[in-house]
Homo-oligomer: A and B are copies of this chain.
Amino acid sequence: MRTSIATVCLSGTLEEKMHAAAAAGFDGIEVFEQDLVVSPSSPERIRDLAAELGLGLDLYQPFRDAEGVGPELVPAVLRRAAAKFRLMNRLGTDTVLVCSNVATATVDDDAVAARQLRALGDLAGEHGVRLAYEALAWGRYVDDFEHAQRIVELADHPSVGTCLDSFHILSRGWDPAPIERIPAEKIFFVQLADAPLLSMDVLSWSRHHRVFPGEGDFDMVGFMTRLVRSGYDGPVSLEIFNDAFRQADVRRTAVDGLRSLRWLEDQTLRALAGQPVRDRLELQALPAVAEPAGYDFVEIRTARLGETTRLLHQLGFALGGHHQSKEHVQVWVQGPVRVVVVDAVREAVPGASPTEIAALGFTVEDPEAAVDRATRLRARPVERTQGPGEQVLRGVHAPDGTEIFFCRASPDGVPPWLGEFGADDVLDPAALVTGVDHVNMAQPWQHYDEAVLFYTSVLALEAQPAQDVPGPSGLVRSQVMRSADGAVRMPLNVAPAAAEQGSFVGAAYPEHVALACSDVVAAARRARRRGLAPLPVPQNYYEDLVARFDLDEAFVASLQELDLLYDRDTGGEFLHFYTGTLGTVFFEVVERRGGYAGFGAPNAPVRLAAQYRRSHEPGARQRSPRGAASPQ
């Protein structure tokens, strides 16, 4: 599939956008007119640069207000078009996007629109240019791709064809099925954009909230299968108007975009599997991977080794051993949960946070295929050394920098790498902690969509509906990514962008590991015996709990004694407690009774408020180098 991206998706100068698109691996770009107008580089220079970078200039856009106008406006349209066609000749671009008239249309007559497009087509033909006519979702008279296609048919001109844009079609709820019946040679261009389902005017939605395929709620795969069936064989191009993309680092946005197309290509192939379709787009498959079976390990890097291992011990972990060739690396184990602890003081990584979640290991069927897939999805591999005879662990960097490792399952539940720690007798069937319930990762708001696509495409997790949690420093957006069977759950949190509440909200935001537990009361008691001061829960909370759930007062008193929080849904009950925060990490211990499906979201404000108070106490620890809060 030929991949392309509109320069309007990207930040920076036109040259910066072109370099980023080429580096990410796109085949071509759409030149957005304004990017050229503000550039000091001549069209010839842009043409040469594209050739040097191996980028096609697949489209020039937009040409507005072309059709449906009164006869008095036609000469001005043609004059304007002639100037653009000459410019396109200098650029070496042969296709221009003509979008349906919004501003100057006064004639609601398909025959008139077709006649005017035909005249424009004559002029275009003289310049070797093709017009790709697109129905804007808010076009004055033409807002539907089938209507645009009827006008193209009426125009009946070799230089006049149609442009399909998934946003303009899916945002209006038009059925994409008729795409299959458009003659492939009349589809001159295809633009893709996904979007979250928002209830707002379509113009604002389009201008600010488009996202890359796989990052929104549209059925992009369904759209693509229609396109394949039409026999279209031209570029498939991203055209995303997104406020965050406009201000983000251009290179990572371009990589995010290419990832979305590679993922979509693969998904479309799977959807078409077994169907008799001639795929003229030449879709490429990615290596197939199954969803991960679980968390293999969590790695914490810390400059506060004593406090970290004390906390792990309080939570019931035992020291499994030290790595045979990396002495500054320990493993702590409890039942099937393994926490790798890296002593950052001895590792001497500059700029490392005092205490942070550095890596997550996932158990997968075929680690090689998973890495191969991730790499082809443009994830950056982790560079990792190992001694002779040691396990080769392979992984990639998530968008926030966390290392994601793909680990092979072992029949006995003991991963082979554990032997390198001299830890051979580690599975305690009586352990209170029975697994990693979930790991909660913080994401900077401007890369949130990128993170969702990364975990969707690389780890085969599925995004659940998002919700907002109010905290003392702003709303925290929370969205759970999970595997279909729920074995891997990873809520992504987005902290507010402003940071006026002091150190609590910053570039990072506390992340946490939630440990599943068979008896949270016993776990809490053990932790207390071992000196843990859990995150305190206010008396007011327990009084409210009684009022909300009509609970037995003795039961609530038993919760309060241990700073346990409580929630209930139709499936069951949820009891949990939090530790304080070290660096940017804290722990949660949870017990699910019955089929409780949530994550205790109603209690999150209690936690956020307590963490806020701790971070604002006199003497609260200062920031990590990553800018994150280090309360407690």
Q: Which residues of chain B are near A499, meaning CB under 8 Å?
A: 247
- Whether the pair B474, A11 counts as a contact (CB closer than 8 A) is yes
Instruction: Please report which residues of chain A, range 518-556, place their CB below 8 angstroms from some CB of chain B when the two chains form the complex.
Output: 536, 538-541, 543-544, 546-548, 550
- Judged by a CB distance under 8 angstroms, whether A243 is at the interface is yes
- Whether the pair B544, A37 counts as a contact (CB closer than 8 A) is yes
Q: Which one of A18-26, A39-47, A140-148, A281-289 contacts B?
A: A39-47
Contact A40:B204 (CB < 8 A) given known A76-B550, A247-B501: no
For A581-625 the 0/1 string (1 means CB < 8 A from B) is 000000000000000000000000110111011001000000000
Please report whether the interface of chain A is mostly helix, strand, loop or mixed according to DSSP: helix
Contact A501:B12 (CB < 8 A) given known A38-B538, A39-B540, A43-B540: yes
Q: Which one of A77-85, A113-121, A256-264 contacts B?
A: A77-85
For A230-270 the 0/1 string (1 means CB < 8 A from B) is 00000000000001101111000000000000000000000
- Judged by a CB distance under 8 angstroms, whether A497 is at the interface is yes
- Whether the pair A548, B199 counts as a contact (CB closer than 8 A) is no
User: Can you name the residue of chain B whose Cβ is closest to the Cβ of A38?
Assistant: B609
- Whether the pair B40, A474 counts as a contact (CB closer than 8 A) is no
A256, chain B: closest CB distance, angstroms: 13
- Whether the pair B40, A500 counts as a contact (CB closer than 8 A) is no
Number of copies: 2
Contact A474:B243 (CB < 8 A) given known A39-B540, A199-B201, A541-B37: yes
For A369-390 the 0/1 string (1 means CB < 8 A from B) is 0000000000000000000000
Q: Which residues of chain B are near A609, meaning CB under 8 Å?
A: 13, 38-39
- Judged by a CB distance under 8 angstroms, whether A34 is at the interface is yes
- Judged by a CB distance under 8 angstroms, whether A475 is at the interface is yes
- Whether the pair B497, A498 counts as a contact (CB closer than 8 A) is yes
- Judged by a CB distance under 8 angstroms, whether A472 is at the interface is yes
- Whether the pair B80, A548 counts as a contact (CB closer than 8 A) is yes
- Judged by a CB distance under 8 angstroms, whether A470 is at the interface is yes
- Whether the pair B79, A550 counts as a contact (CB closer than 8 A) is yes
Q: Which residues of chain B are near A37, meaning CB under 8 Å?
A: 538, 540-541, 544, 605-606
- Whether the pair B247, A500 counts as a contact (CB closer than 8 A) is yes
Q: Which residues of chain B are near A11, meaning CB under 8 Å?
A: 472-474, 500-501
CA distance A500 to B541 in the complex (A): 40
- Whether the pair A546, B83 counts as a contact (CB closer than 8 A) is yes
- Whether the pair A472, B13 counts as a contact (CB closer than 8 A) is yes
- Whether the pair B13, A612 counts as a contact (CB closer than 8 A) is yes
CA distance A387 to B144 in the complex (A): 72
- Judged by a CB distance under 8 angstroms, whether A560 is at the interface is no
CA distance A401 to B550 in the complex (A): 52
Interface centre among A79, A501, A550 (most CB of B within 10 A): A501
Instruction: Please report which residues of chain A, range 485-531, place their CB below 8 angstroms from some CB of chain B when the two chains form the complex.
Output: 496-501, 505
Q: Which residues of chain B are near A505, meaning CB under 8 Å?
A: 247
CA distance A207 to B467 in the complex (A): 12
Hey, which bits of chain A sit against chain B, CB under 8 A? 8, 11-13, 16, 33-34, 36-43, 76, 79-80, 83-84, 87, 198-201, 204, 207, 243-244, 246-249, 445-446, 468, 470, 472-475, 496-501, 505, 536, 538-541, 543-544, 546-548, 550, 605-606, 608-610, 612-613, 616
Q: Can you give 15 contacting A-B residue pairs, CB < 8 Å? A: A12-B472, A12-B473, A12-B612, A13-B613, A13-B616, A36-B540, A37-B540, A42-B540, A43-B540, A79-B550, A198-B200, A200-B200, A243-B475, A246-B475, A247-B497
